[in-house]
Amino acid sequence: MTIRPILIRGEPALARVAVPVIEFDDDLRRLIADLHETNTAANGAGLAANQIGDGRSVFVYDCPDDTGTRYRGHIVNPVLRTSEIPETMPDPDDDLEGCLSVPGEVFPTGRARWAAIDGFDGHGRPITVEGTGYFARCLQHETDHLAGKLYLERLVGRHARGAKRMLKRKGWTGPGHTWLPGDVPDPFGH
Known binding residues: 99, 141, 145
Give the active site residues. Answer: 142
The residue type of 43 is: N
Secondary structure (3-state) at 21: coil
Binding residues for Fe cation: 99, 141, 145
Secondary structure (3-state) at 23: coil
C-alpha–C-alpha distance, residues 73 and 28, integer Å: 14
Give DSSP secondary structure letters for 50-117: GGGT--BSEEEEEEE-TTS-EEEEEEEEEEEEESPPP-SPPPTTTSEEEETTEEEEEEE----SEEEE
